[in-house]
Amino acid sequence: MSPSIGLQVHAVGRGAALSSTPPPAPPPGYGVSPRRTGGRHSERRAGDTQIIHLPTITPTPGRAGPAPVTTPAQPPPSRGPSAPPARLAVPDVAARPAPQRKGLFRSRSNGVARQDILDRNRLRLPIRSPRRIAVVGLKGGVGKTTLSVLLAGLYAQVRGQPVLLLDADPTFGSLLLRSGVAPAFSARDLAGRGDPGEFGILAPYLALSPAGAWVLPGGLDPGESARFDEATFASTMDVVHRHFPVMVTDCGAGLSGGLMSQLLGSAHTLVFATSPSVDGLTATYAGLRWIAERGFGALVANSFVAVTAVRRRGTPVDLTAAAKRFDGLCRGLLSVPDDPHLRAGARIDHEALAQPTRAATLHLAAEVLEAALRAP
């Protein structure tokens, strides 16, 4: 793994969630556009099941288990093709010291400052067409929602463009709490209305997070979230698709079902969240193979495994060895340190993160966006 680095993420722009006041009446004709049946978001693929050969991931010898923006009103015009990506590096964030200071972190070396600038420049690469990033996982509690909120917030802050954070978890997860919004409308309120034509007409139906990302929940309560299905997702994409250069989707737990097929078919890259454990990494490997064997091989090859809540000491697996096991299957394995602020389960504040967490999430965000830009 690459040497330890310290990076800087500046949290800027604190918006407020929209109130419950009904939005202004849409112009004549809005809501009557027929739903498209084509497009990337409605793709379905199938493949034959094959025997999955699991990797051998062994515990680390001699280690015990873990210890007891201002958003513009209109999206920017399309730009030219992106620059060639840098070669993937896997930072050893688990091995770095974790200072508990809050606020802005000052770089302590020229190397740290250069890496910070490099990752930020990669986050500003031009986008020719809207890119969609899906955050998935085999079970709850592995950091899917945390990663979704962190990624969407970073893209909104650094790029200064509209970024959509979509809650596609039919079990009514914690995305609204963690992103700090109280929306008055859901995807079901937008589904089937057609493209409004102007971002100003769409904005009142969304909630703006303190980090600057626009948030759209699948439902406002557990019952409504449970009715968020593949048809609702496809018709919602017809409304919001072209208005957001970047969209991050927080998917529900598991990989099967019609909704997940739609989410996988619409994504340009995946972030597969997992825990730093032998069973978590082994199941993740099997999950990626399962997705690839069902017609999404190119998607898997352009995706990342994100190991969350990695402790500085006492990690039960050797992540360097584990990363080698994923070579040839996906783009690589990256890790995010355990952080007291994220562990609390409340609204995520980028300024409250420890410096190693900022470094890891900034690097992850840059790698993931570059992978999304490589996809056709």
Confidence tier at 116 by pLDDT (50, 70, 90): confident
Confidence of residue 26 (pLDDT cuts 50, 70, 90): low
**349/33: higher pLDDT:** 349
Give the pLDDT confidence score for residue 301 in this predicted structure: 98
| Domain assignment present for 303 | yes
Report residue 215 CA to chain centroid gap.
13
Can you spell out the DSSP letters for 286-350?
HHHHHHIIIIIHHHHHT-EEEEEEE-SS--SB-HHHHHHHTBTTBSEEEEEE--HHHHT-S---G
Q: Which two tokens stand for residue 216?
A: 């759209």
Report yes or no: 145 and 153 within 8 Å, Cβ to Cβ.
no
Residue 313, pLDDT score: 87
- pLDDT score of 375: 97
Output the pLDDT for position 115. Answer: 78
Question: What's the CATH code of the domain at 307?
Answer: 3.40.50.300
Residue 101 falls inside a structural domain: no
User: What residue numbers bound the domain in which 244 lies?
Assistant: 135-374
Confidence of residue 315 (pLDDT cuts 50, 70, 90): confident
Q: Say if residue 306's pLDDT is above 80.
A: yes
In a domain, 189, yes or no: yes
Domain assignment present for residue 93? The answer is no
Q: What is d(CA 199, CA 342) in angstroms, rounded to the nearest whole number?
A: 32
User: Who has greater pLDDT, 87 or 292?
Assistant: 292
Split at pLDDT 50, 70, 90, the class of 7 is very low
Indicate whether 75 belongs to any domain: no
Q: Tell me the C-alpha distance between 199 and 322, whole Å.
A: 44
Q: What separation in angstroms does the CA of 256 have from each of 138, 141, 176, 287, 337?
A: 10, 18, 24, 10, 29
Query: Could you tell me if 266 and 237 are in contact, meaning their C-beta atoms sit under 8 angstroms apart?
Result: yes
- Looking up tokens 């084509």 gives 38
On the question of pLDDT at 276 being above 50, the answer is yes
pLDDT bracket for residue 23 (50, 70, 90): low
CA distance 307 to 293: 23
Cβ proximity of 218 and 186 under 8 Å:
yes
Q: How confident is the model at residue 312 (pLDDT cuts 50, 70, 90)?
A: confident
Query: Is 92 within a domain?
Result: no
Among residues of the chain, what percentage have pLDDT more than 70?
70
Question: Per-residue pLDDT averaged across 46-58, rounded?
Answer: 40
Residue 108 has pLDDT above 90, yes or no: no
Cβ atoms 314, 151 nearer than 8 A: no
**What residue has token string 């920017």?**
76
Q: What percent of the chain has pLDDT over 90?
A: 66
- Residue 310 inside a domain? The answer is yes
Q: Which amino acid is at 234?
A: A
pLDDT, tens digit (0-9, with 9 covering 90-100), for 183-240: 999 999 999 999 999 999 999 999 999 999 999 999 999 999 999 999 999 999 999 9
Instruction: Please state the domain count of the chain.
Output: 1
Rounded distance between C-alpha atoms, residue 111 and residue 175, angstroms: 35
Residue 201 or residue 64, greater confidence: 201
> Does the residue 33 lie in any domain?
no
Per-residue pLDDT, 30: 56
